Amino acid sequence: MSNEKIPYKIYLEENEMPKEWYNVRADMKNKPAPLLNPGTLQPMTAEELAPVFCDELVKQELDDTTPYIAIPEEIRNFYKMYRPSPLVRAYCLEKKLGTPAKIYYKFEGNNTSGSHKLNSAIAQAYYAKKQGLKGVTTETGAGQWGTALSMACSYFDLDCKVYMVKVSYEQKPFRREVMRTYGASVTPSPSTETEIGKKILADHPGTTGSLGCAISEAVEVATKTEGYRYVLGSVLNQVLLHQSVIGLETKAALDKIGEKADIIIGCAGGGSNLGGLISPFVGQMLRGEADYRIIAVEPASCPSFTRGKYAYDFCDTGMVCPLAKMYTLGSGFIPAPNHAGGLRYHGMSSTLSQLYDDGFIEATSVKQTEVFEAAEYFARVEGILPAPESSHAIKVAIDEAKKCIETGEEKTIVFGLTGTGYFDMFAYEKFHDGKMDDYIPTDAEIAESLSKLPKVD
Amino acid sequence: MSNEKIPYKIYLEENEMPKEWYNVRADMKNKPAPLLNPGTLQPMTAEELAPVFCDELVKQELDDTTPYIAIPEEIRNFYKMYRPSPLVRAYCLEKKLGTPAKIYYKFEGNNTSGSHKLNSAIAQAYYAKKQGLKGVTTETGAGQWGTALSMACSYFDLDCKVYMVKVSYEQKPFRREVMRTYGASVTPSPSTETEIGKKILADHPGTTGSLGCAISEAVEVATKTEGYRYVLGSVLNQVLLHQSVIGLETKAALDKIGEKADIIIGCAGGGSNLGGLISPFVGQMLRGEADYRIIAVEPASCPSFTRGKYAYDFCDTGMVCPLAKMYTLGSGFIPAPNHAGGLRYHGMSSTLSQLYDDGFIEATSVKQTEVFEAAEYFARVEGILPAPESSHAIKVAIDEAKKCIETGEEKTIVFGLTGTGYFDMFAYEKFHDGKMDDYIPTDAEIAESLSKLPKVD
């Protein structure tokens, strides 16, 4: 093993934890395009967003000039319960691979939500509480976000209504129970509690629901109920802002041990983890202070960066939310049932889309079965059972480390390990039993979906 | 909040981690009674134990004079992947309770096995590998031990055969899949792979198995298969030795922040966690260097300390294993289906039994529903979803902290949070739905079971 003096796990001290989030948009010359009102096709104003989101979060959503935004003390105190997360030197993985590369991963799974989602959930709950709201609504698919939000709401004594895609509600009863433990109400979607839910149930009896439908229900309840707002766990600028705590800690830890990353790798669904991880590093690139190779990894079944189009599109399948300019497969694209539920989103964060379009990020897509092969390999050598989402990054990190064996280069590879797979064992079971498929949409399918993009000038 | 300068989480540096385990027996004036051969009723010799356990582990099992035993470097390297575990200052719990007490917990759940079991699993796998064995066998009920052992065997490339109680195998498919991810073979017990399994199936068609039966199968396979030995996750002296890493880290962390514990609390099933946590502290008491109040917490449904008898008994219900002198409810005692599967054992570690008999430990029992109330309360304020087993300690820690509100005493309470409850959501669901019962054996039931204790002079 090289460099024995670096410990297996690098923890920042509590007083080294970030006191401000970093807003990468402030350093971008080409700003991400604004959200558009789906009716007028004009940029959404703060007033238009206020019925949906908390005031402070609207401000953060629209702010593309302030580089650093203070993390309120109450949030920092909550962070101290499960942060700083460790930056882990993957000595065992390096040894097993026989690579000269140095591999590090930032592990965000050591909290009960099981993923990085808690970083933004606690911020959004805090601002809701500060505004004197009674509660928030949201949707959840696989359940990480719903779990994180219910933990955050419990901490601030806020009501939390989660609309959970019906098929997940039934297939993931454990996730549902974790949310109930934190006092959230969990409703299978579509439900008869909302107009849109009733309509969908009437039109499609027996439907098992979709994320798009659950979003529509959550938004309807938030906007129609006094004292409630809607919150979202990915895609939005505010979420990337909160998640920058991942990248800031990673960079601080690397600086502390005198290490500089060559390659930074993250899985990409809506972009919350990838955006959070890379923000401070991309900031350096934008300011001309450093250079990195940054790789977004997406599932071959839902390849918005690698096979999508950079265009305005609806954020939800219900087409009631604002339009965002982003790499998209079309809001009508139904991703195949890949087990990385957190990556099954038709679009991509506007900020990351602009950075990708400007060449600061590269992207690659990987197949489900090779992802699970990498997941199992990693679990056995590093002792952590990774979430399917995170395992996309593992797969590419291992590939890059293998390239270093051939070239002999001692590259420093950093990847984001966003969470644990304890609630994904049905997927692992399918993999073990050889019953896992790879789903790759055809060109025709994608073209068909993209042909229905909304027409914006 | 008092004492703001102490961080929420106290981590030792890697070079502050223990390099030796502590063998509390060395400091005990009244040594734990030896294991007896079930045939001859004479103390088991190393030769007699050798077909069952690895040679080095037999040595550790019988050694009651060496106070410190070096932790081999390979094991210390594995420990570095998930240790040191944090000692957490429960600021949020203190604040919520409004107690002047200072509450700390040693959190052992941040590894994929989800509990402290990995500390001994990796040691036992290491010695098996060192002896040139092909593999090991074991039994598992709830699954924590089986998971830990499969991770350890995977690391050292050892074969791992787990006999899992059939009812758990069917009800906990996730645990089974985690073990498969680590390459273990998992067989529902009773099986047709062993003589004892076939006999039990013939005598009791349709049985869903028991821990006692699974132990018997695992021992049979280990002793009849070339290059295999049997390993056990609790009760044994060797296990308490390995688990002393918990207490050593806890004590080092407390010393580092200049804190002295007044009360130390741990849940008690077979004794692996409690013994590991308290060993260094009890060592101080035995040497007259310090005094602590030490509380063992057991389920009211399986109260070996509080309602059992200190006597020689079989370690397994199949009555094929050696006899141990311990607090026991009788090896025929069938604990009611309490959801803290890890605490459903009829006996208690010989070492802890002797310490309890000598007055170094006190014990209390708590009911299942009040344990889950404490678990949910804790989850909501401290953000960690605890295992049912661990929650027994939480319940009593909260009770002690409440007493401090009345007396105004600023006591320092330390408890062991042995693991997470991600695989126990069926139990939480029952609790949420108001369908959880409290099971308390009658005096007559316990007397009946104790009347069948083996007669040893």
Asked if B383 and A82 come within 8 Å (Cβ–Cβ), the reply is yes
CA distances from A322 to A38, B182, B226, B405 (A): 5, 45, 68, 52
Tokens of A161: 């209504």
Of B92, B110, B173, the CB nearest to A425: B173
CA distances from A170 to A188, A197, B322, B426, B441 (A): 8, 17, 46, 14, 36
Q: Judging by DSSP bridges, how do beta strands A263-267 and A412-417 pair with one another?
A: parallel
Q: Report pLDDT digits (tens) over B111-131.
A: 999 999 999 999 999 999 999
Q: What is the overall mean pLDDT for chain B?
A: 94
Q: Which pLDDT score is estimated for A4?
A: 56
Q: Which whole number is the average pLDDT over A213-222?
A: 91
List, edge to edge, every strand of the sheet that includes A159-165: A185-189, A159-165, A135-140, A228-230
User: Closest Cα partner for A119 from A283, A279, A316, A346?
Assistant: A279
The answer to whether the beta carbons of residues A371 and A439 sit under 8 Å apart is no
Q: Which pLDDT score is estimated for A62?
A: 97
Asked if A11 and B7 come within 8 Å (Cβ–Cβ), the reply is no
Q: Which whole number is the average pLDDT over A192-220?
A: 89
Residues of A engaging B, defined by a Cβ cutoff of 8 Å:
7-9, 11, 13-14, 77-78, 80-82, 88, 91-92, 110-112, 114, 151, 154-155, 173-174, 177-178, 180-183, 376, 379-385, 420, 422-423, 425-426, 428-429, 432
Q: For the whole model, what pTM was predicted?
A: 0.94
Q: Judging by DSSP bridges, how do beta strands A20-22 and A68-70 pair with one another?
A: antiparallel
Of B13, B92, B181, the CB nearest to A376: B181
Q: What is the overall mean pLDDT for chain A?
A: 94
Asked if B432 and A177 come within 8 Å (Cβ–Cβ), the reply is yes
Give the mutation candidate from B91, B174, B339, B384 for the A interface (greatest A CB count, under 10 A).
B174
C-alpha distance from A218 to closest chain B C-alpha (Å): 23
- 3-class DSSP state of B306: helix
The residue with greater pLDDT, A380 or A321, is A380
Q: What's the number of CA atoms in the CB half-sphere (13 Å) around residue A213?
A: 26
Of A13, A177, A384, the CB nearest to B428: A177
Residues of B engaging A, defined by a Cβ cutoff of 8 Å:
7-9, 11, 13-14, 77-78, 80-82, 91-92, 110-112, 114, 151, 154-155, 173-174, 177-178, 180-183, 376, 379-385, 420, 422-423, 425-426, 428-429, 432
Q: Report pLDDT digits (tens) over B348-386.
A: 999 999 999 999 999 999 999 999 999 999 999 999 999
Q: Report pLDDT digits (tens) over A351-383.
A: 999 999 999 999 999 999 999 999 999 999 999
Give the mutation candidate from A110, A115, A179, A371 for the B interface (greatest B CB count, under 10 A).
A110
Of B8, B154, B432, the CB nearest to A180: B432
Worst-scoring range by mean pLDDT, A384-398, B68-82, B190-204?
Answer: B190-204
List, edge to edge, every strand of the sheet that includes A87-89: A9-10, A87-89, A102-107, A412-417, A263-267, A293-299, A362-366
C-alpha distance from A291 to closest chain B C-alpha (Å): 30
Residue B84, pLDDT > 90, answer: yes
Residue B3, pLDDT > 80, answer: no
Residue B265, pLDDT > 70, answer: yes
What does the DSSP 8-state code read for residue A370? H
Q: Report pLDDT digits (tens) over A241-299.
A: 999 999 999 999 999 999 999 999 999 999 999 999 999 999 999 999 999 999 999 99
Report the residue of chain B nearest A16, measured CA to CA.
B7
d(CA A317, CA B435): 39
Residue pairs between chains A and B whose CB atoms are closer than 8 Å: 116
Give the mutation candidate from B95, B339, B385 for the A interface (greatest A CB count, under 10 A).
B385
Q: Which pLDDT score is estimated for B50?
A: 95
- pLDDT bracket for residue A141 (50, 70, 90): confident
The answer to whether the beta carbons of residues A241 and A60 sit under 8 Å apart is yes
- pLDDT bracket for residue A208 (50, 70, 90): confident
Q: Report pLDDT digits (tens) over B250-263.
A: 999 999 999 999 99
Measured in residues, chain B has a length of 457
Q: Which whole number is the average pLDDT over A61-69?
A: 98
Asked if B177 and A425 come within 8 Å (Cβ–Cβ), the reply is yes
Report the residue of chain A nearest B382, measured CA to CA.
A81
Asked if B177 and A420 come within 8 Å (Cβ–Cβ), the reply is no
Residue A2, pLDDT > 50, answer: no
Asked if B177 and A376 come within 8 Å (Cβ–Cβ), the reply is no
Q: Which whole number is the average pLDDT over B94-104?
A: 98
Contacts of B94 in chain A (CB under 8 A): none
User: Closest Cα partner for B309 from B273, B346, B335?
Assistant: B346
C-alpha distance from B319 to closest chain A C-alpha (Å): 35
Residue B311, pLDDT > 90, answer: yes
- pLDDT bracket for residue A157 (50, 70, 90): very high
